[in-house]
């Protein structure tokens, strides 16, 4: 599954032949889908194989279900499969379908990216904030910009949930076509490592690519950090890429910037980073550069100075933490790469507010009777460490303690569990371990694995029920304290034994604060 992807608009002979076959056998109004739950009568079902030797999914066992639902045609992975259904429905066997699906779907929808400036944002942390903020900045500058990512697909404030950071190849092209028809002229897209390795973005033209950072995550799928990084790096060699925006404070970013020109396919590079207030010189850039200096916490967020090859400005933002300063620099670089003027970009940056479930504050105006609660999506060791480090000065300014309520997902990357336990013990004053999408695993086993990383297991209180854990922390925290509820952010469900049940950290924080007389 790691063969070279079919790159934007390079519709090969196989893809062209498949497209011609579809136009002969299927009504023009038919939709393409890889999910039988989305399939309507007359639609085309794509049964491809995705993944690698560690984790893979095969759509071909669902062909019978698609036929029963009235599929107008089936396009399926040819390798290792003999069609057993006779002539009940038109069907086409395609080798390496996962690589061809994107270009086929792009052609079916009239190559929607031709009318869109697409910015791909990749990295372990920060993709969602950066994509949402970039869309708002471009909108403010007069370019209708939609987003595709973890929060859903659509324009800011009107997102439709998809369940994936990067949708599958045929759904992605349908989404791009729909966004273009709705008036979008730019798209800020989160591009996951899974999406890159599984060719979900094949057939998409990226004009700008952004690297936020690379830290440990998804090793259950990629196997090693080297493979994880290789998946991310492929975005920066994308055919037709115009500008790469690279975080020079990140180890992967430094490797990209230090490598030969082949490592970054774009002719234009903007590097960004944070230098301490005493830095005398800027590291020699490769191309354009942006720098934040004099970063400092304020009673209402963060202030810092921006300078670089484009200009200089003072910045005040309600966002908390150095990692958000880095994210804002990434957004600024991407906005400039998309043609936004410096003054307009700075003005739009100053107007940004936190993204839902990303360092989102609750109870800030609640008076002296309740703690400050923060909901954040941090679900990796590095993200948790950065979030807690960002909140420590806030707690100190309030003369309070810092609480951390978190868990780890089941059936996902068990290596990070003890690492996150160690981070919480080191960075927080009070730690509560709880469930976070345990899926098929026993929640207690996950909590024990997290606690294994703590030098003093007794430092952590274990409350398996997440609602009870949030309520306990908010009720027992002093008014001066800060309570971080980490891991789920915007999510509205909790997955337990195959069932997704309604659950929102944001709503449970509000309910907990209400017990202390605070409306948040």
Binding residues for ATP: 123-129
**Residue 206, SS3?**
coil
Q: Which residue in the block uniquely carries the two structure tokens 């903020």?
A: 133
**Residue 374, SS3?**
strand
Distance CA 452, CA 210 (A): 36
Query: Annotated binding site for meso-2,6-diaminopimelate, which residues?
Result: 412, 436-439, 487, 491
Query: Annotated binding site, which residues?
Result: 36, 123-129, 165-166, 192, 198, 200, 412, 436-439, 487, 491
How many other C-beta atoms lie within 10 A of the C-beta of residue 108?
A: 22
What kind and span of H or E run contains 337?
Answer: helix 322-337
Distance CA 512, CA 398 (A): 20
Alpha-carbon torsion, ordered 86, 92, 98, 101, to 10 deg: -140
Q: CA–CA distance from 96 to each of 81, 235, 392, 510 (Å)?
A: 12, 20, 50, 49
What kind and span of H or E run contains 304?
Answer: strand 301-308
Alpha-carbon torsion, ordered 319, 302, 392, 515, to 10 deg: -50
Tokens coding 236: 């920066």
Which ranges constitute the DSSP H helices of 59-188? 63-68, 97-108, 127-140, 169-181
- The whole-angstrom distance between residue 342's C-alpha and the CA centroid of its chain comes to 26
Q: Provide the 8-state DSSP code for 46.
A: E
Distance CA 313, CA 126 (A): 23
Nearest alpha-carbon partner for 421 in 461, 473, 464, 478: 461
Q: Provide the 8-state DSSP code for 439.
A: B
Vertex 386: Cα angle to 385 and 390 (nearest 5): 120
Contact 306, 290 (CB under 8 A): yes
- Strand-pair category, 482-486 with 49-51: unpaired
Distance CA 380, CA 360 (A): 18
Tokens coding 95: 């080798």
């Amino acid at each position: 599954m790691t063969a070279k992807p079919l790159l934007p608009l390079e519709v090969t002979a196989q893809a062209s032949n498949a497209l011609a076959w579809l136009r002969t056998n299927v009504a023009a109004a038919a939709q393409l889908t890889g999910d039988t739950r989305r399939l309507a009568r007359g639609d085309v079902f794509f049964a491809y194989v995705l993944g690698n030797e560690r984790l893979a999914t095969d759509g071909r066992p669902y062909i019978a279900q698609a036929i029963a639902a009235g599929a107008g045609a089936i396009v399926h992975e040819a390798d290792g499969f003999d069609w057993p259904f006779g002539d009940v429905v038109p069907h086409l066997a395609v080798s390496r379908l996962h690589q061809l699906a994107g270009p086929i779907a792009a052609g079916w929808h009239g190559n929607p990216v031709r009318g869109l400036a697409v910015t791909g944002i990749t990295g372990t942390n920060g993709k969602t904030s950066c994509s949402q903020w970039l869309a708002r900045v471009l909108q403010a500058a007069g370019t209708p910009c939609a987003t595709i990512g973890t929060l859903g697909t659509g324009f800011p404030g009107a997102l439709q949930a998809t369940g994936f950071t990067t949708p599958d190849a045929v759904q992605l092209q349908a989404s791009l076509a729909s966004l273009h028809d709705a008036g979008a002229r730019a798209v800020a897209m989160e591009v996951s490592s899974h999406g890159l390795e599984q060719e979900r973005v094949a057939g998409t033209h990226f004009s700008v690519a952004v690297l936020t950072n690379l830290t440990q995550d998804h090793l259950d799928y990629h196997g090693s950090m080297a493979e994880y990084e290789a998946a991310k790096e492929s975005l920066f060699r994308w055919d037709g890429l115009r500008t790469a925006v690279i975080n020079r404070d990140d180890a992967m970013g430094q490797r990209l910037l230090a490598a030969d020109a082949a490592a970054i396919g774009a002719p234009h590079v903007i590097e960004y980073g944070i230098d301490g207030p005493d830095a005398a010189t800027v590291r020699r850039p490769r191309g354009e550069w942006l720098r934040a200096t004099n970063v400092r916490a304020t009673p209402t967020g963060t202030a810092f100075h921006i300078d670089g090859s484009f200009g200089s400005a003072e910045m005040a933002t309600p966002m908390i933490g150095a990692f958000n300063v880095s994210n804002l620099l990434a957004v600024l670089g991407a906005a400039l790469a998309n043609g936004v003027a410096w003054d307009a970009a700075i003005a739009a940056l100053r107007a940004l507010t936190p993204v839902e479930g990303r360092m989102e504050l609750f109870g800030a105006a609640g008076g002296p009777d309740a703690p400050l609660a923060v909901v954040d999506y941090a679900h990796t060791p590095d993200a948790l460490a950065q979030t807690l480090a960002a909140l420590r000065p806030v707690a100190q300014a309030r003369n309070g303690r810092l609480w951390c309520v978190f868990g780890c997902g089941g059936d996902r990357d068990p290596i990070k569990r003890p690492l996150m336990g160690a981070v919480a013990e080191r960075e927080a004053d009070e730690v509560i371990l709880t469930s976070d999408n345990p899926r098929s695993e026993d929640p207690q086993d996950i909590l024990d694995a997290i606690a294994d990383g703590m030098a003093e297991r007794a430092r952590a209180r274990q409350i398996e029920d997440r609602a009870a854990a949030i309520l306990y922390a908010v009720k027992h925290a002093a008014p001066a304290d800060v309570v971080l509820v980490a891991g789920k952010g915007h999510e509205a469900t909790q997955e337990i034994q195959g069932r997704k049940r309604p659950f929102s950290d944001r709503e449970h924080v509000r309910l907990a604060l209400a017990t202390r007389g605070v409306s948040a």
